[in-house]
Amino acid sequence: MSAPIIQCQQLSHIYSGKVALNQVSFELDAREPIGLVGPNGAGKTTLLSILSGFLHPTSGTVRVFGHPPGSAQLIGKISALPQDARLDPSFTLAEQLVFYARLQGFTRQQAVLEASRVLEIFALKDAAHEKPLALSHGMAKRVAIAQALIGKPALVLLDEPTTGLDPMNVRAVRSIIVELSSTTTFVISSHDLAELDRLCQQILLLENGILQIDKVRVNEQQATSRFITLQMENCPAAEVIAKLIVLEGVLQITNPQKNEFIVEYNPDLQPGMDLQLMHCIQTNHWQYRQLSHGKTLEEKLFSRNS
Amino acid sequence: MQPAFFNHLLLICAFELKRGFATRKSILSLVTFAVIWYFILLYPLRFAAELLVQEKGLQAELSIFDVIGFGSIQHWPIPEFGVFWHFALMIFPMLSIMLAADQTCSDRERGTLRFIVIRSSRNSVFFGRFIGAMVIQALWISAAAFSTLGLTLTRDPSLLSFAIPDLPILIVNLILVVLPFTAMMAALSAKVKSTRQATLWAILIWMFLAGIISSLAYYLPVLAFLKCLIPGYQLSDMAQLSGWRTLSLAYIPLLQSLILLILGRWIMARQAL
């Protein structure tokens, strides 16, 4: 069994009297993208900054690939998109990315090719000789993500990667993460729960600097009941609930948002609940938009009974 | 494929040279300095040198330079170099405070330093940028010294053989003079948020340090050695020297720089980026 890529033990950080991280302990293995969620000020950026070596924790220990953040052994293995970090306005994108690649150990020629490669991933090759001030917010964000991919690092820490991007570029970022996740582990901090739901199997929830392990129950296979999330077109909610609750195996129906229903059921009594729901929808001539197994990430994290 | 610490130093230093000579801001600074230096050469430096030559011809007992406290100028075999020496001792430390103020502060505030630090050590960044700032200043100093040599040769080309041994003395000395000022700015830049703050703190710290240590030394003469901690402390003594003797005080800026660099590195290692 391989060693965890990130190990945090009793990690705390205090900013001028305010506790940003409080005794956070966890271990992460190299795997599918990992989501880091939590409200504003929960400590997400602080945690990513500590993992990147930009901040020193007040107490506790951190190891990334077995080394303390900032150590020479991590150069080229770990990369980051820091929140709100901007490139130097005095130099072109190509000049800066080539410089970064050279710091990672590329020769001059290799660095030029590598800078060109990462810019091309984000359709920015034409802007290579522009200076950062000439870029739009979205382009600047894409360049900042592009620099994190130089040298194909094993671990990439992305702080709010899709904030400020248009839907097309959000989609592009998502597909790049999916494409690279076989060789690179991504840790993604975001407020976009739908995005994280699509990308991440593992979620870390931070609230007031404390890691909330119990709230995140991703592995529903071990639970006695299961969930199906049903999104309908305009429909009479009361009637839908009344018809669904009487189906065999259904334990509870909740209606957290307009036209969205969460069906909790006993899989032992009704393993084919999805087919039963479809049949009920067809019989009643309702229109549905989406039927998915499990709860949405938002429901997992923030519903009252979770 | 991990580049060593020295490789990073070279890369960061080379990037600083690019910043120092190939960006719009740097070219503007260079042109401004060139224009100011041209007028210094053309008027005060040339006139003072001509006056010295005339006085030497008159064999007067008391020179005007003795009266105004610049008698040591006459000890330089080439008058232009004597005048340059005095001008440079005043101009380059001030220029150093301005030129070296932004070693890391702007990049840290913008977040650019994060892109760099994740690919190299904080030590490489700190020392690489310090060396870069020193190389840039060394080139400015050399350019100013060579332009003074040019002025000398336009007056009397036969002075070349006298000028050649003195030129490296001037350049090496001036590099040593700006060394502690650059180290002080490296340490301040690692802590403060902007170039302006770094410059203001440098002036304040320098004045308070000079004031406090001078007061202490006045009441307790045994503490006079603490004056060695003030960057530029040796300048007034250096101004009285000429030729290779100017290097006799080189230990002071070297010691100051060492202390300031240790302090700066300590700040950089602990600073949140």
Over the stretch B191-206, which tens digit does the pLDDT of each residue have? Answer: 999 999 999 999 998 8
- A147 contact residues in B (CB cutoff 8 A): 115
Nearest CA of chain B to the CA of A275: how many Å? 51
Q: Does B245 touch chain A (CB under 8 A)?
A: no
Find all residues with CB under 8 Å of A91, minimum gap 6, and list them. A99, A131, B18, B19, B23
Q: What is the dihedral sign for C-alpha A144, A147, A152, A154?
A: negative
Q: Nearest CA of chain B to the CA of A101: how many Å?
A: 9
Residue B103 has pLDDT above 70, yes or no: yes
Q: Is B6 on the interface with A (CB under 8 A)?
A: no
The ipTM value here is: 0.87
User: Has residue A154 got a pLDDT over 90?
Assistant: yes
pLDDT greater than 50 at residue B30: yes
Mean pLDDT of A165-189: 90
Q: Return mean pLDDT, chain B.
A: 88
Sheet with A185-189: strands ordered across: A78-81, A155-159, A185-189, A34-37, A202-207, A210-211
Average pLDDT over chain A, rounded to an integer: 88
| Concatenated DSSP letters of chain B | -PPPHHHHHHHHHHHHHHHHHSSHHHHHHHHHHHHHHHHHIIIIIHHHHHHHHHHHHHT-SS-HHHHTT-GGGGGSSSHHHHHHHHHHHHHHHHHHHHHTTTSSHHHHHHTHHHHHHTTS-HHHHHHHHHHHHHHHHHHHHHHHHHHHHHHHHHH-GGGHHHHHHHHHHHHHHHHHHHHHHHHHHHHHHTTSSSHHHHHHHHHHHHHHHHHHHHHHHHH-GGGGGGGGGSTTTTHHHHHT--GGGGGGGTHHHHHHHHHHHHHHHHHHHH---
pLDDT of residue B214: 85
A102 touches chain B (CB under 8 A): yes
> pLDDT tier at B64 (50, 70, 90 boundaries)?
low
Confidence grade of residue B226 (pLDDT, cut at 50, 70, 90)? confident
CB contact under 8 A, A56 and B272: yes
Strand partners, A159: A189
For B118, the closest of A78, A86, A87 (CB atoms) is A78
Residue B11 and residue A80: Cβ atoms within 8 Å?
Answer: no
Q: Which of residues 15-54 of A touch B (CB under 8 A)?
A: 49, 52-54
CB contact under 8 Å between A105 and B2, yes or no, is yes
**CB nearest to B270's CB, from A56, A75, A103:** A56
Give pLDDT, residue B134. Answer: 97
- Chain B residues with beta carbon closer than 8 angstroms to that of A73: 2
Q: How confident is the model over B166-222, as pLDDT tens digits?
A: 899 899 999 999 999 999 999 999 999 999 999 999 999 888 888 888 888 888 888
Q: B112 and A84 in contact by Cβ < 8 A?
A: no
Give the pLDDT score at B243: 74
Per-residue pLDDT of A79-131, as tens digits, reads 999 988 999 999 999 999 999 999 999 999 999 999 999 999 998 999 999 99
Task: Map out the domains of chain A with their CATH numbers.
Answer: 1-77+154-161+186-216 (3.40.50.300), 226-302 (3.30.70.100)
| pLDDT for position B1 | 45
CB A265, CB A225: distance < 8 Å = yes
Q: What is the pLDDT of residue A11?
A: 92
Does residue B217 contact residue B224 with C-beta atoms inside 8 Å?
yes
The residue-averaged pLDDT of A160-184 equals: 89
Which residue do the tokens 């041994």 mark?
Answer: B165
Out of A54, A96, A147, whose CB is closest to B117?
A: A54
Choose from A16, A54, A71 for mutation: most chain B CBs within 10 A.
Answer: A54
Contact list, A95 vs chain B (CB under 8 Å): 18
pLDDT category of residue A63 using cuts at 50, 70 and 90: very high
Amino acid found at A125: K
B15, B27, B119: best mutation site toward chain A, by most A Cβ within 10 Å?
A: B119
